[in-house]
Amino acid sequence: MTATVRTQEEIAARVKALESILIEKGIMTTAAVDRLVEIYENEVGPQLGAAVVAKAWTDPEFKARLLANGTEACAEMGIGGLQGEDMVVVENTDTVHNVITCTLCSCYPWPVLGLPPNWYKDPAFRARIVREPRKVLGDDFGFDVPDSVEIRVWDSSSEMRYWILPQRPAGTEGLDEKALAALVTRDSMIGVGAAKAA
């Protein structure tokens, strides 16, 4: 058994134990637990952000609205809610690469990115990405940004949550929105990676 499998099994066992205690003490019901799972599997998450990105890649007018007011543009697609009340979208270009963090805690646009990954909440990541973003992206994520490209780090807060409009991959001109959305990753919307190649 690998360490990864063992860790996943341990986490699953802990989650199940916590769920049982919450239900036993009357803090939550099984229906509430099922509803939370359904929300994070189907109603919020990176698949929604990917759909927004794909629309922006194919509709210049929508893209302009997204960059002008991320919250309102997402609402046009029925996306919004808790932790997404004030979203700002910044665009990666040939000369600028953006990355997001939250130096104080782990503020993050849940409606379009889902739950934040553990590394996003790690104090070491939050401190280092501000001080040495190029090194963190290369060493920790295997994502090398050329020296000719400026890196901008955006610090999310409880008042404003940033996320990234990644660059559209080359050779995707003939793809529809659904196919384009499949190329968008959560990491590309955080800025620690690129969208998948076509």
Q: Please write the tens of the pLDDT for every residue from 89-101.
A: 999 999 999 999 9
Distance of CA 65 to the CA centre of its chain: 20
Q: Is 74 annotated as a binding residue?
A: no
- 107 is an annotated ligand-binding site residue: yes
Burial class (CB in 10 A: 0-12, 13-18, 19+), 30: exposed
74 tagged catalytic: no
* pLDDT tens digit sequence for 108-155: 998 899 888 889 999 999 999 999 999 999 999 999 999 999 999 999
Q: Which parts of the chain fold into alpha helices (H)?
A: 3-24, 30-38, 46-58, 60-68, 70-76, 110-113, 118-121, 123-131, 133-141, 177-181, 186-190
Options 20, 105, 157, 158, the catalytic residue: 105
156 is annotated as contributing to ligand binding: no
CA distance 27 to 49: 32
Quickly count helices (H) and strands (E) in the chain: 11, 4
Say which of 20, 74, 107, 148 is annotated catalytic.
107
Clarify whether 105 is annotated catalytic.
yes
Of the pLDDT bands very low, low, confident and very high (cuts 50, 70, 90), residue 41 is: low
Does 2 have pLDDT greater than 50? no
